[in-house]
Structure 1
Amino acid sequence: MVGLVLTAGIVDGIAINTAHELGHKREAVERWLSKIALAPSGYGHFYVEHNRGHHVRVATPEDPASARLGESFWAFWPRTVWGGLVSAWRLETGRFRVRSRSPWTWRNNLLNAWSMTFALIAGLVAAFGVRVLPFLLLQAVVGFSLLEVVNYLEHYGLCRRREATGRYGKVDARHSWNSDRVVTNVFLFQLQRHSDHHANPSRRYQTLRSFEESPQLPAGYATMILVALLTPLWRRVMDPRVVAHYGGDVSLANVRVPRAARRPPDEAATTPA
């Protein structure tokens, strides 16, 4: 059972990567195929959040899919899973609100994507019974967790500067971790050339480029996913690279703020040790 869950989850993770590529395209057929590929993992909201949320807020503290320096994957996971879901709902309902229309329609990209998941679950339950539900849940969690661990390593600690206007600077090659490892790039549709993807989201994966100014991971995604799961090893490997990327000035990085430091000064002062 464990092996089957992991295998199906890994297939889901690959499907999400395929959905990522298709979801950025302008052709309607490719966009619908993106939603279909997201159905087994139940992550249809990724279609909305990634394109209209993550690509706008990437490498800023406001982005739930951009990991902060000092933040473990295990702390990042609930923040990005919940944050991405909430963000997607706000973005999609906001799209209807500005048109003075109800979001409860088939044209809602969240509802039509989630309906594919429900249809898949209903079909499998009809065929195999309710005993298939734990398997479907677990393999979906494995699948979307693979996506989130990749999100974790792609922008760890990187931050765009806030300008005098209050807006963040333009996304450029310095705001994504890259890797030119051939084998992983072949299997992941050049996802590791992530800087060019963020600079040109609609560019097809075959033509993504590598830039000298892009920060480089010490290994390919397959290795770095395993490293990310081991927090002390991850911090030993990646924290010095983030610091070096900013010339030793950690204030330029996207840094995790300890919970106590987020409290108002008077509250923090009165909190018992």
Structure 2
Amino acid sequence: MPIWRYALANLPPLALLLAGALWGGWWAALALLWLTLIAAGLDQILTPPKAKALHSEIADPLSVVLAIGHLSLLLLAARAFGDPTRGVGETVTLLLAAGSFLGQISHPNAHELIHRAPRTLRRLGGAVYVSMLFGHHVSAHRLVHHAHVGTPEDPNTPRPGESFWAFLPRAWIGSFRAGLIAERRRDARRRGVNPYAWYMGGGLLCATLAFWTGGLAGLTGFFALALLAHLQILLSDYIQHYGLTRRHLPNGKWEPVGPHHSWNAPQGFTSYLMVNAPAHSDHHMHPDTPYDALIVPGGAPVLPWSMPIMAMLATMPRHWRRIMDKRAAKAMARAAPLNPRPANGPQT
């Protein structure tokens, strides 16, 4: 039953957005309503995943459907943005709804796919990130973030007291550079094209398709969607690791990644909507575990509200620090000395 909860949470907004991109009308508004008010309301009613479940054979096909739906949505949205018969309100609603979908569903789903073992799934996840002009995240996340999370060596771990607006450019530029350096090191041990060539070339291809489909308005809308996606992806990193750092051990190494190095947001609806990405501690300790088998470990830090609500708060630094600084200090103070379960190493 749990895997169907994921499908019932994230397939309806995809269907509504595709309908809105194709035919206009109120479909996109309904999708935006689903991703905001309905999600917030259902979080108060439904229960989140609590026990580790067996990986369902339907989990990967669902991720594939969401990824293909994402790629189709971008193309149809670009065409809709270039449609002169559509009103401003209709176009803006589609932009906001599609942008919310990219941040809340496409990003967590692509994140899941780039961690899966089959090469086809990893490449599909990479294609989703490339289509959002964020292809470097595939390398930076797997090779840098997972290896160095909670340390100064990870550009996607917020510094103590750092605001999101200071974190945003530093993390974007830093992750691009760190991922490129990591891939160049791998190039010394292998033959083939550096993935960054695919990231850049694929992004150019997607922009060309947006222009071919929707003209200048379609290209502008495509860039706006990519900007909204980047903002939400980096908000996720900021929220899920704010104030949580790994300690230096006497031997000079960093302590292993434990449950206290990631914030979790186990909510009754958004956990399913976001492909269980809010169960973040378990993912960092065991990145190969499929999303439908993740749990929130006992004692792991838990955010006071859902990820979408925390994302809004993170854009207001003064309010964010008032809410989160004391919580982060308490989480680190009561942290277990070491993770009792061995964490997987960085993926290659």
Q: Deviations over 1:74-124 (max 9, x none)?
A: 11101111111111111111211244x5xxx5x422222333222221122
Q: Is 2:240 the partner of 1:154? A: yes
Report which stretch shifted further, 117-126 or 209-218.
117-126
TM alignment of 1:68-79, pairs within 5 A:
68-79=159-170
Q: Deviations over 1:156-181 (max 9, x none)?
A: 01111112332211001111111221
Q: Distance in 1 between matches of 2:332 and 2:203?
A: 43
Q: Secondary structure at the match of 1:182?
A: coil
Q: Is 2:224 the partner of 1:138? A: yes
Q: Is 2:169 the partner of 1:51? A: no
Partner of 1:175: 261
Aligned residue among 280, 286, 300 for 1:214: 300
Partner of 1:89: 180
Give TM-score, length-normalised by structure 2. Answer: 0.66
Q: Residue 214 of structure 1 aligns to which amino acid in structure 2?
A: A
Q: Distance in 2 between matches of 1:59 and 1:171?
A: 8
Q: Residue 108 of structure 2 aligns to which amino acid in structure 1?
A: N
Partner of 1:241: 327
Q: Secondary structure at the match of 2:269?
A: helix
Q: Residue 59 of structure 1 aligns to which amino acid in structure 2?
A: G
> Unpaired segments of 5 or more residues in structure 2?
1-90, 335-348
Q: Distance in 2 between matches of 1:195 and 1:42?
A: 27
Q: Residue 298 of structure 2 aligns to which amino acid in structure 1?
A: E
Partner of 1:195: 281
Q: Deviations over 1:197-244 (max 9, x none)?
A: 001001001110121221111111111111111111111110111122
Q: 1:166 to 1:118 in 2, by over 3 A?
A: same
> Unpaired segments of 5 or more residues in structure 1?
249-273
Q: Residue 73 of structure 1 aligns to which amino acid in structure 2?
A: F
Q: Is 2:130 the partner of 1:42? A: no
Q: Deviations over 1:137-193 (max 9, x none)?
A: 221011111011011010101111112332211001111111221211001111111
Partner of 1:259: none
Maintained 8 Å contact 1:12/1:40:
no
Q: Secondary structure at the match of 1:111?
A: helix
Partner of 1:17: 108
Q: Distance in 1 between matches of 2:134 and 2:302?
A: 29
Maintained 8 Å contact 2:210/2:222:
no
Q: Residue 330 of structure 2 aligns to which amino acid in structure 1?
A: A
How far residue 127 of structure 1 moved from its aligned partner, in angstroms, is: 2.7
Moved over 6 A (4+): none
How far residue 245 of structure 1 moved from its aligned partner, in angstroms, is: 2.1
Q: Residue 163 of structure 2 aligns to which amino acid in structure 1?
A: S
Partner of 2:93: 3
Aligned residue among 214, 229, 233 for 1:128: 214
Q: 1:247 to 1:96 in 2, by over 3 A?
A: closer
Q: Residue 30 of structure 1 aligns to which amino acid in structure 2?
A: L
Q: Distance in 2 between matches of 1:19 and 1:158?
A: 25
Maintained 8 Å contact 2:260/2:332:
no
Work out the number of aligned pairs and report it.
243
Report which stretch shifted further, 239-248 or 89-98.
239-248
Q: 1:40 to 1:216 in 2, by over 3 A?
A: same
Maintained 8 Å contact 1:12/1:144:
no
RMSD across aligned positions (CA): 1.7
How far residue 12 of structure 1 moved from its aligned partner, in angstroms, is: 2.4
How far residue 58 of structure 1 moved from its aligned partner, in angstroms, is: 0.4
Q: Secondary structure at the match of 1:213?
A: coil
Q: Deviations over 1:232-265 (max 9, x none)?
A: 11111101111222339xxxxxxxxxxxxxxxxx
Report which stretch shifted further, 2-11 or 201-210.
2-11
Q: Distance in 1 between matches of 2:181 and 2:174?
A: 11
